[in-house]
Each structure stands twice: as C-alpha cells, then as structure tokens.
C-alpha cells in the first residue's frame, strides 16, 4: 500500500478495533488499497458499509450513497470519512434514495428526524427508499412521479 493508504489504515484500525476483521488490502486497477467491508448489524445479508483508499481519496459507501474525501487544502480525508461513518453508524442519519422504476435518480444523507414522506426532492421518482444502519428506519415509499 502507498503512504496515504497506510496512514488511513492505521487511523481506522486504531479508531475502530472492533472492525479489524473486516480490514484488508485490496487491488483496484492494479493499485494496492486499504478497504473495509462492514456488514450491517441488522442482518441484511449482502449489505455493507464500505470504505476504500483508491487514488489518494477515502471513499465511503453505504447503500446507494457514497462520498469522497481527500487531503486537499485544509481538509483531512480521514476526518471527513470518519464523520460520515459515525453519522451512519449512530443510526441518527439514513440514506434516502430516489428511483423511477429500476432507474436511480439520486441519493442523500438525511437526519433521521427529517425523513421524507414523498418525492419532493426528486419529483421524477416514483419510489423513495430509506436505508438505516440498524434497519429501524428502513422503508419504501411509493409515490406519483411528476415530470
């Protein structure tokens, strides 16, 4: 692994020793990266919270949402990724994704206290899916598309 990936791996293992078994070196486009795949605690068989370090970025994936973090300017890639991981695993935030049939329209991170009730953010969508770490907020909302 390169220095960036080593730095992120060390910080992640230190911060989350309980997830050490999910940490590994991986190959992405011929580059050795640090990657983590943590299974949802709610029993969704193939669902994971994922993190990797490809291309000097930390990318966090959860359901149909992902975000990139780098060390550009005053930013610290790990700190940004850590905040997102903590928001998701606190179960105080959820991922809301918008669909029109099988076509993905968009996703966003939303505080659980602000759960949507329809497709106001993406009027084109006819389905709103809510995914939470513990599963207690998971929901599918069918709605009339506009546009």
The CA distance from 18 to 9, in Å, is 14
pLDDT tens-place string over residues 16-62:
999 999 999 999 888 899 999 999 887 666 778 999 999 899 999 99
Q: Report yes or no on whether pTM surpasses 0.85.
A: yes
51, 53, 54, 56: CA torsion to nearest 10? 140
The string of pLDDT tens digits covering residues 102-132 is 999 999 999 999 999 998 888 999 999 999 9
CA–CA separation, 130 vs 96, rounded Å? 5
């Amino acid at each position: 692994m390169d220095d960036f990936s080593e730095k992120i791996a060390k910080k992640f293992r230190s911060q989350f020793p309980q997830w050490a078994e999910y940490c590994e070196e991986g190959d992405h486009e011929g580059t050795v990266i640090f990657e983590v795949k943590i299974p949802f605690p709610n029993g969704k068989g193939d669902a994971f919270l994922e993190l990797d370090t490809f291309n000097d970025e930390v990318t966090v994936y959860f359901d149909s949402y992902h975000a990139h973090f780098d060390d550009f300017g005053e930013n610290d890639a790990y700190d940004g990724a850590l905040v997102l991981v903590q928001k998701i695993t606190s179960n105080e935030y959820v991922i809301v994704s918008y669909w029109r049939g099988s076509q993905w329209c968009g996703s966003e991170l939303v505080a659980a206290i602000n759960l949507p009730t329809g497709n106001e953010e993406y009027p084109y969508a006819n389905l709103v899916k809510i995914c939470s770490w513990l599963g207690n907020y998971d929901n599918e909302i069918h709605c009339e598309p506009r546009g």
